[in-house]
Copies of this chain bind each other. A is one copy, B any other.
Amino acid sequence: MRKYGNGKFKLTPQRIAILDYLDGNRSHPSAEDIYKSVLKRFPTMSFATVYNTLDALRKSGDILELTIDPEKKRFDPDTKLHHHLICIKCKSIVDIHRKFSLNITSKEVGGFEIVGNHIEFYGICPKCRKQS
């Protein structure tokens, strides 16, 4: 498993279970998804622990918090720069690992100091296309 937490990140069984679930996970799970999954191994697991752990991981830069879904936050253990393709019907999300050149002029940014970008592609996934 990949290394998480920079330095003072205490590895508890609960956290290991959360990390196990996140590691390599491409489903962009919500806090509830994570909670439900980890609950199987830790019946006493609390939502607070999930949120605390996710917050610690976010602060150490080990996961990203996605604001793509209006209903809830989703989390992504892939912190390499990438973009997302979102199904507007079932809200599934897939990664687009590619760079796009977005040349934006200093005039356009109006004094902002640009630090990053993120592209959301909207579409209808194969499964949902079949159903309609």
**Docked pose: A85 CA to B70 CA in angstroms:** 19
Query: What is the size category of the interface that chain A forms with chain B?
Result: 35 or more
Stretch at the interface among A33-41, A47-55, A110-118: A110-118
* Residue from B67, B69, B114 within 8 A of A123 (CB atoms): B114
**Docked pose: A126 CA to B119 CA in angstroms:** 23
- A104 within 8 Å of B (CB atoms): yes
CB within 8 Å of B: which of A85-130? Answer: 85, 87-88, 94, 96, 98, 100, 102, 104, 108-126, 129
**What B residues does A108 contact at CB under 8 A?**
96, 98
Contact A120 B120 (CB under 8 A): yes
In the complex formed, the residue of B with least CB distance to A102 is B100
- 10 shortest interchain CB distances as A-B pairs: A111-B126, A112-B123, A114-B123, A116-B122, A67-B70, A113-B124, A118-B120, A117-B121, A119-B119, A115-B122
